[in-house]
Structure 1
Amino acid sequence: MVYFIRDVISYLETWAPPAYQESYDNAQLIVGNPDAEVTGILCTLDATQEVVAEAIEKGCNLIIAHHPIVFKGLKSLTGKNYVERTIIKAIKEDIAIYAIHTNLDHILGGVNSKIAEKIGLKNTRILSPKSGVLSKMVTFIPAAHTAQVLKGLFEAGAGEIGAYKNCSFRVNGVGTFLPTEKANPTVGKPGLSEEVSEDRVEILFPSHLKGRILAKLRQVHPYEEVAYYLHTLENENQEVGAGILGELETEVEETAFLAFLKNVMNLSVIRHTKLLGRPIRRVALCGGAGIFLLEAAKRTGADLFITADVKYHEFFDADNQLIIADIGHYESEFFTKELLKDKLSEKFTNIALYLSNAVTNPISYL
């Protein structure tokens, strides 16, 4: 079966919707033609000239990167820095570059879940869930058609709350209306007042699915004019947000756990606050620059917070309440390319998938 770049993007964005990326981010197709047929996919943390060369060598015309090569606006393409040189090389060689960044950070099963899996955390949940990303729809359905309409809405992605699917609330009442002469009513006749036994149905859905949900409602609802209300909710979406919190199977002594962490994450060094003389059981983490989640980690009673890019004075903010372990930005997200390859292999079984061998870490240690 032939797949195009747009097919790969659609699959990834169903998994990690672009709506969940931060406002400063640039997760999208950065270079390339979405209508091009995919010859092979190279998964990487960063897109660099070396990675583009590797894609050419492996016969891949699509690079899936975690970090966007273009973060700021480009005003020229003259090759004066590594960003411009990488873009120029990709365009010349007809290599597409797609970035899936903070949207992949913000989902269960994403970047932070991969880190949690590597270090053996159980009972994981989002450390800082996002609010304002859920909507509620209220609509009115003739009782005889309620099951049919709900089935369509569920298929479109509505009605999921955590581990529960097909969730809704309904109460029966009486709907009244008077069709005008221009109307073509499903029930009743123009010019005659009508009363119908209707179900008031309330259902939640991710806000970014609004267009799809409304299109499905109009498709499956029997009425010519569909009555509905939409509300953006302040509720936190427990499936979307920053960081992960979880627990180790058993308590581990501090030094032993840091040694384990260093080994399992292939670290050269761990920068950490002083040890507190108590075992590690509850662990909070955030791949990349995640110190903004320190207070959330404290509130949850975490014994240790794993992240990267911690500044000198920010280590003081641990305040003897937990241990901060800075494992490095590249190191914390290294296994993201493995996560991407595994996800893509579930769908695109006939496309060559590769993990980049390029070491794109700009930091070295003596």
Structure 2
Amino acid sequence: MIIQDVINHLEDFAPLNYAEDFDNVGLLVGDAKQNLTGVLVTLDTLESVVDEAIENHCNLIVSFHPIVFKGLKKITGKTYVERVVLKAIKHNIAIYAIHTALDNHIEGVNDIICNQLQLKNKSILIPQSNTIKKLTTYAPQAEADTLRTALFKAGAGQIGNYSHCSFNVDGTGTFNGNSTSNPTKGNKGETHYEAETKITVTFAKHLQSKILKALFTTHSYEEVAYEIVTLENHNQHIGIGMVGELEAPMPETEFLQYLKEKMNTACIRHSAFLGKPIKKIAVLGGSGSFAINNAKQAGADAFITADLKYHDFFSAENQIILADIGHFESEQFTKNGLVAHLTKKITNFAIVLSKTDTNPVKYF
């Protein structure tokens, strides 16, 4: 295997198309064509993590957070970021970051939190928009089924729990090829009438190149008539944050104790108690103050996130309990999920779970 093979597995699972615009995801350091020796999975890439990769003979570090976030104008070793990059390059170690691509995955960061808390009836808190596209094309009626099958195989026609979804209308197409054309139906220079089927399918935006390849390689026409539009529909399977429910309601103090134990956190900062049981929970790993209103609109009794500032707690407005469990604490189990996924996909190479504690925040 080469490093690119691992990247392909990661991007099939969490396509980079769904990462946030501000993010820096993908291969950040190294050559994807190198032969793979092993994979180390971590939450953050620090110098000590690179040392751990060297010790375990791993030449690929899969990191949740990107070590290179802002542009680097110099790499002289003056900052911890520069030192990590220098050490990784010196030892031919590649660094790949997945970050918000995994944040927005339905089985990503927030699903892991929900599973840790044993929540049920889970759904996306803030579904992503502009992630669903629609293809409309026209094929000879005798070839329509073959074309539909090829589009479905490429990933088109998936809507929620349903596959092979399409809409089809029979009609008549017309065309007249010029002197340099090579029509597969009719003759050049003559207006041809063909019984055609109009085929419409939706697809996830990251599949566009595969869908078009299937269209062009399967369609018999020299010039394929088609159009692609981006839909405003929210994608209920892609987005940030999640909402779920406890098996049974809990008193507020009991819930916070439960949260503290399940998320292995030393401290929870929270807004005022409301004197009512906790049942519906919204979660968002990492910095989540921007989603407070979404959590309230979802009817959540509590919102679990991190990095809340002083004035953010006023936004609870006696409608919800805000619980800041710490940035590292909210995402700490993410690397375990990545190891589990990669271990299923790659059985002939070591997938090593980093033992380095990368939490920069300490409690006294």
TM class by smaller structure:
over 0.9
Opposite residue 200 of structure 2, the aligned amino acid is: E
Q: CA deviation at 1:346?
A: 1.6
Separation of aligned partners in 1, 2:16 and 2:300:
30
Which residue among 282, 291, 298 is the counterpart of 1:300? 298
Q: Deviations over 1:106-150 (max 9, x none)?
A: 110011111111111112111011111221111111111111111
Aligned pairs for 1:1-366 within 5 A: 3-366=1-364
Secondary structure of the 1:80 match is: coil
RMSD: 1.1
Separation of aligned partners in 2, 1:322 and 1:4:
49
Secondary structure of the 1:256 match is: helix
Q: CA deviation at 1:25?
A: 0.8
Percent identity of equivalent pairs: 51
Q: CA deviation at 1:185?
A: 2.0
When the two structures are superposed, what TM-score results if normalisation uses the length of structure 2?
Answer: 0.98
Opposite residue 74 of structure 1, the aligned amino acid is: L
Q: Comparing 239-248 with 330-339, which one deviates more in the overlay?
A: 239-248
Secondary structure of the 2:345 match is: coil
Secondary structure of the 1:128 match is: strand
The unaligned stretches of length 5 or more in structure 2 are none
Separation of aligned partners in 1, 2:26 and 2:110:
20
Secondary structure of the 1:346 match is: helix
Q: CA deviation at 1:23?
A: 1.5
Separation of aligned partners in 1, 2:279 and 2:194:
58
Separation of aligned partners in 2, 1:324 and 1:236:
26
Separation of aligned partners in 1, 2:89 and 2:229:
43
When the two structures are superposed, what TM-score results if normalisation uses the length of structure 1?
Answer: 0.97
Q: CA deviation at 1:213?
A: 1.4
Q: CA deviation at 1:240?
A: 1.1
